[in-house]
Structure 1
Amino acid sequence: MFFRDKVAKVSLRDMLEIQERLGTKNFTKALQKEAEENDNDDDDDNNEQFTRKAQTSTTIKKPISTERTSKLEPLEISSKRQPAKKDQIPVHLRGRRKLIDPRFNEQFGDYDAKEFRQSYHFITDMRRKELNDLRKQLKTSEDPTEKMKLKAVINRLVCFF
């Protein structure tokens, strides 16, 4: 009871330092001894469950290897752990999410061209400003290769409108 009371009053950082000094196994054993002394009245089943839980928490889990000797060989999955959701979905059903086009889906409502133009008018203003800037650059540039590139970009923007 003495050890458990000390640990209860200590901050988490200090408790972790104590655990590092003693070692995880020794730390849990000390807590178990305290618990066994306090729980002498309880059933033996409860003590066994407590010790099993403490033992499983201190053991290091081994990484599961998913390597196969042959690509045709089935993947071996443990029955003790729940398989991931992606493993439960058949391979032919896995894939990209189905894309929905809002133009043809009634869930998104009716398309109003006037409202769309009013909402996104700032984009056309930005394009016009960019086009004017490119035309100014074209007039000031003297390099013929740069002029060709600027003309191509301007043509692309004009065709895009």
Structure 2
Amino acid sequence: MKEETLQRTFPKKTITNNNSKSKSKKGKGWRKDRQKYVGSIFDENDDTCNNDETKMKSKHQPNIAQEPIRHSLDEKEVEFTDPRKSIHSTMNSPVEEHEEADLDNMGFRAEIAEIPLGKAKQLQERLGKKLFDKAFFVEDSSSDLNRKSSHKSFARENPKRPREVSSKIPVSKFRNVFENEKLEKPAIDPRFDSRYGEFNDYIYHSNYSFLDEIRQREKKILMKELKNTREEGDVNRDRLKEALRKMKNQEKTQADVNRRKEVIREIRHENNERMCQGLPPIFKTRAQIRELIWRRKYDELKGGKKLEKYLRRKTKKQDKRSVLPMNQQ
């Protein structure tokens, strides 16, 4: 028998065709089934939907008509509630918390005061000494806050002991090593500071010559006040006399200093002229300088009674000097 040849009416199966068909079938079938299932659940016109489908429909689609009613009720409740009361009930201020804690501690103290000593000892052992002391010997909240805010000051028990300083606080550069030490910038006196140059007496007196005028005015004012106070035993009168005496003594000493300066200036001027002429300078001794100063003073006092007073005082001083060695013997 001749073998009958069968003709293929469909294409050959290949790996590519199999994969494409399987994918297309799976995708299309899953989408169609999903559309049917969703349509059966959410199709309101479908009469053939089951009870389970209606339940799922009610779950997925909440009743929209009831929502505005519920919101309106919530709004009414919010309107009737007092916001101050709600805030006050939910939140407590720190002051109230401290007050409540203080009241609790006071009540705890009162209870322990009524309990016998043995039971209080047992309670202390049960709670622990630290917790018991904290509850019983608690201090006021205000003092705790002040203690936290205030910096601890380390005082010396004895001034001869060293200062106690905390090791936890870093040492500042501008600290007081000694208690009486001053950290402020010290006052600078230009008279004794080399940075301001050498002191020139002539320039100083020429710049501050107005001080002499001020002293003369003050002297006149004191003399007027002294005339007004006639009583001898008055304390104010004695004070004015002492002030005038000091001012007169200062004027006398300043006049002596100026006289000495003028004599020395004249001696230097003469020596400079001699050196310009080619002659050697003449250096005078201290005794010679004192004699020249006395002659200048004698010439100034020659005009009136001042010379007589001056000579009288000088003779008294000389007599005292001559009498002193005899008394010592």
* TM-score bucket (shorter structure): 0.3 to 0.5
Larger-gyration structure (1/2): 2
What's the TM-score, normalizing by structure 2? 0.25
What's the TM-score, normalizing by structure 1? 0.45
